[in-house]
Chains A and B, each alone.
Chain A
Amino acid sequence: MKDDDAPNPDQHSGLTRRDFIKISGVGAALPLALGPTVVHAAGEDVPVYGPGKTPLTLNVNGKKLTAELEPRVTLLDALRDQFNLTGAKRVCDRGACGACTVLLEGKPVYACSVLAIDVQAKSITTIEGLNGDDLIPPLRAMSTPSSGLTPVMEAFVENDAQQCGFCTPGFVVAATHLLEKHPQPTEDDIRRGLSGNFCRCGTYDGIKAAVLKRYGGGIGGDNQRGGAE
């Protein structure tokens, strides 16, 4: 096994297409971080990243986080492996189950299906950041940093909307966005807003109750609220 840290001097030169192919063939053997190489293609200068590591900056929960990552690294893996933000889970690993849901510019996305390098200019909110001070305003209104839990999280606890808990962070993030969009959600809003997430233990009834009882218009419940506003 080679020493990981030995730099490869060739990488600092401009890449020709042939070099690129050569390097691709041994792609994973190139651990060194480098900035984009600009190639001229179809009459334009196009930056080419990788295949080795490249420095990138992510705006996560209001903080600038930097790392050197290969362009192929997903947002989910970057959050988990680089920044130890492990609330978002990898479950299906291909955009089917929602366990990796995070907010990108306030909208829910599957972090397993987004490349970290593509979202450098955007604001990313993970479950860990839902009750932080740096949230975008509508979310901040829903946070209660003193208890450490947001009202949505509290509703999940009260209505026992989790069993093993592995899908729960994804559901909480999705439910938080749902309630921002529909402060008085109907049962149909809930079904639509949360149908992109799977649970295996079978906590859907608790999740529906968590969102409906606490915030739903007309349903009633022990702790009605008006939602974000």
Chain B
Amino acid sequence: MTEYSWPDPATRPLLGKKISRVDGPVKSSGRAKYTYDYNPSGLLAGKILRCPFAHARITSIDTSAAEKMAGVKAVEIIQKTGTEIFWAGDEVVGVAAVDESTAEDAIRAIKVQYEVLPHFVSDAEPPKQIATNTGPISRDDFEDMEDNQVPDEQVIEAIQKNGISFHPDDKYLKDARESGVADKVVEALRTARYAPAVAVRSPYKQTALQTEGDPENAFASAAAVSEGLYGASCITHCCLETHGMAAEWPSPNEITVHISTQNLSGIAPQIAEPTGVPAGNIQVMQQYIGGGFGSKFGPDRWGLAATRLSKTAGGKPVKIMLERAAEQEVAGMRPSSFARVKVAADKDGKLSAWESRSWGTGGVGGGGTPPLPYIFQVPNQRKQNIAISTNQGSARAWRAPNHPQAAVITMGALDDLAAKMNIDPLDFITRNLDIAGPRAVVYREEFQIAAEMMQWKQNWHARGDKAAGPVKRGLGLSMHIWGGRGHNSDCDLTIHPDGSVEIKMATQDLGTGARTIITIVAADTLGIPMENVKLLIGDSRYPVSGASGGSTTSGGVTSSTRRAAVDARSRLFAKVAPSLNAKPEELEAVNVTVRVKSDPSRSLSWKEACSKVGAMPMTVRGKNPDKSKPPDLTNSGVGGVQMADVSVDTETGIVRINKMVAVQDCGLVVDVKTAESQVKGALIMGISYALYEEKILDPVTGRMLNPNMEFYKLAGITDIGELKVHMMTGKGYDERGVIGLAEPPVVSPGAAISNAVANAIGVRVPFLPLTPARVLEALHPGGFHESV
């Protein structure tokens, strides 16, 4: 029987070691070519004219002057006269010209007039009295309720009371049932009364109040109750390589695309539909990507504009890369999320009740709904979320969508409750791990390791550093959970008669180390050096592999590579066995040889063995998932814990990181080196959003005030302190298979740092980022002046 299982530590020369990333040399020498670097001769520069108003209607567009300009090759209107624009920076007209400056001049020559409409960009706390009856249930309302797991009875009640403003057909009802909506809810939908949608002026959309257990009684009988305000502001993805795409038409029915994307295999269908060109005639390419973080899954409106501009320009390549300001304003943000929380525990410090009123914005579509309370299944709960629709570019998945916000809110509230009860938060969390879900056992082990790395017991003090002087030091902690099961992935592995090995997969390496781990798995399985494996990714003509989102790539690409390599090895053994006078199952591939397990002296060099393949190369396809080739090589569910050590200058409000500790599990770690890098990267990104990053919108103009990199602040090399990472490996972890790592470690830094600041200065700074102004406001509510 063919054995696909991950090999034991004793028989894996490369898996689980610390190996430098295979594309390190090409990156560190500046030779890696990104979409932004695509520079063929005849390349035209594309630019976009963007709406300067946060809410407006286009009343006229005059492109005649631009069209007459020398060097301008194509002008395409993206949104026509009459269109309502819902955020500043939205695309209106595209231009392609011989170079960027000519394109910019052409953009300036276009005259667009707007009827300016009222905008709303505030995500401040909604008023107490907002309409609870929002009229009939829209399709969005319904799907939001389902996404948020509103209890069935409440959904049915809302449908029956309010009616619905959409017509669910049989297909919709069937899809709903198949996606897990309860039969009785589907039936309520089917028999619902139709009522036309009401034009609602309020930007606030409130979910139904969700209740579990008996919060009333639980709060009344609690030993301690803590109330507080917590949250995290909107931030942007701030990819260093801005979003962008180059399109060209080699023939009237073919498109070639270079794009900065996390979703190489999924781009062609998204271009086929609007252009009418068959997806099979669309080739999508990308070797390197300068950051995505969840914001780069589609061609976007600018990519489609590049496609149309290229067609108009006779098929010449047109490249549109967003300017930094557009990147910050429209190409992705993480929703804000804030909450007033009341949380209670009994006399033993066991969590007994949770109440939250949360709100936030994710742009015009409303907002994300953080899973509250995070991780802890508090027995009695009452919670409600209000999504605020604001006139700004829509939210996109930002590394671990909704989890960092949920962690800041929940872990902050628990930390305050522990402080109120005079319990060390590490002790408090440990007492409640029995309601911490499926990874509870792992958290317990991880907290012990983290506490040792941070020397928590020695260094922790009760809330409020009593040391003399203005600089106060404190410790904080947080924890997180994520899925991370491997996505669907196909892999073609070819063994050439000369012994070279080639892998093709239409995946992408976001800097996570995907190239490295694919190469490690193939080389490890075949017993050859990594240099012998030629890995080809980044071309849609290779076998389809999933998008890199939700920490799904590592599990997916390694599983399909493992199956392909094991199958190729078996077929090679079958060809080689007669020469070694053995049966195929008696052979092994180690140390660049194929040899008889029981008698290693009977061996062929890898090259000799491969020459037995015949004149033609041998290609096998590996897949994930593949139930016909068990076991499952990937898994879902990881847990991690983090601790922060900070110093806060109470005179300036400046927070400095002294040290961060991260302990993380992710199943079998294929390459410990790149895995540790990714966790450190997450810590740094977390420090950045905890202390510095904020997408600031101007209520007057509705525009982002800091669409740049001097006032949209990222952490620099001086801001990170000492970073310590421990990966959970070995028994209990390795046998779970490969699980993704991109999201989980970025969840906790904000919460851990917020808690450390509270521990240092004795008061909670409610919202991230913990700017000096917010720290000083928390220390001196209302400011230093009695009145102005």
A-to-B contact residues, CB < 8 Å? 1-4, 6, 27-31, 70, 72-73, 77, 80-81, 84, 86-94, 96-97, 99, 126-128, 130-131, 148-150, 153-154, 156-158, 160-169, 172, 190-191, 194-195, 197-208
Contact = CB atoms under 8 A, between A and B. Distances in A.
Interface stretch (B19-27, B176-184, B364-372, B479-487): B19-27
Contacts of B291: 164, 166, 200-201
A163 B241 contact: no
| Residue of A29, A157, A200 with most chain B CB atoms under a 10 A cut-off | A200
A160 B24 contact: yes
Interface string B691-711: 000000000000000001110
A29 B70 contact: yes
A195 B76 CA distance: 42
Contacts of B684: 199, 202-205
Contact of A89 (B25, B101, B240, B723): B240
25 contacts: A2-B68, A2-B70, A4-B71, A28-B70, A28-B101, A72-B101, A86-B34, A89-B34, A89-B240, A89-B241, A91-B240, A92-B709, A96-B709, A127-B30, A162-B28, A164-B289, A169-B29, A190-B717, A191-B717, A199-B240, A199-B717, A200-B293, A200-B714, A203-B677, A205-B680
Name the prevailing secondary structure of the A interface residues: loop
B98 interface: yes
A164 B685 contact: no
A28 B68 CA distance: 12
B474 to A, nearest CB: 22
A109 to B, nearest CB: 16
Interface of B: 20-21, 23-25, 27-34, 36-37, 39, 67-73, 98-102, 104-106, 238-242, 288-291, 293, 323-324, 510-512, 673-674, 676-678, 680-685, 688, 708-710, 714-718, 720, 723
Contact of A160 (B39, B69, B677, B709): B677
Given A91-B709, A202-B685, A148 B25 contact: yes
Given A200-B238, A206-B677, A31 B70 contact: yes
Nearest to B293: A200
Nearest to B292: A164
Nearest to A160: B677
Nearest to B512: A163
A158 B28 CA distance: 11
Leading 10 A-B pairs by shortest Cβ distance: A87-B30, A202-B684, A166-B290, A202-B681, A165-B27, A164-B511, A28-B105, A163-B511, A127-B30, A157-B24
Nearest to A5: B70
B718 A94 contact: no
B28 A157 contact: yes
A209 B99 CA distance: 40
Contact of B240 (A126, A156, A200): A200
Contacts of B24: 156-157, 160, 162
Contact of A127 (B29, B37, B290, B718): B29
Given A29-B71, A165-B290, A206-B680, 7 more contacts: A86-B39, A94-B709, A128-B29, A149-B25, A157-B21, A160-B677, A199-B684
B30 A73 contact: no
Contact of B25 (A1, A6, A157, A195): A157
Contacts of B71: 4, 28-29, 31
A85 B716 CA distance: 26
B341 to A, nearest CB: 29
Contacts of B25: 148-149, 153, 157
| Residue of B290, B674, B676, B683 with most chain A CB atoms under a 10 A cut-off | B290
A177 to B, nearest CB: 15
A30 B34 CA distance: 31
Nearest to B27: A165
A2 to B, nearest CB: 4
A84 B30 CA distance: 12
A2 B27 CA distance: 41
A161 B28 contact: yes
A202 B682 contact: yes
Contacts of B685: 200-202
B28 A207 contact: no
B744 to A, nearest CB: 14
Contacts of A2: 68-70
Given A28-B71, A28-B101, A86-B33, A168 B677 contact: no
B607 to A, nearest CB: 26
A126 B708 CA distance: 25
Given A81-B39, A160-B673, A168-B27, A201 B511 contact: yes
Nearest to B313: A1
A151 to B, nearest CB: 11
A94 B708 contact: yes
A191 B323 CA distance: 29
Nearest to B718: A191
A201 B745 CA distance: 13
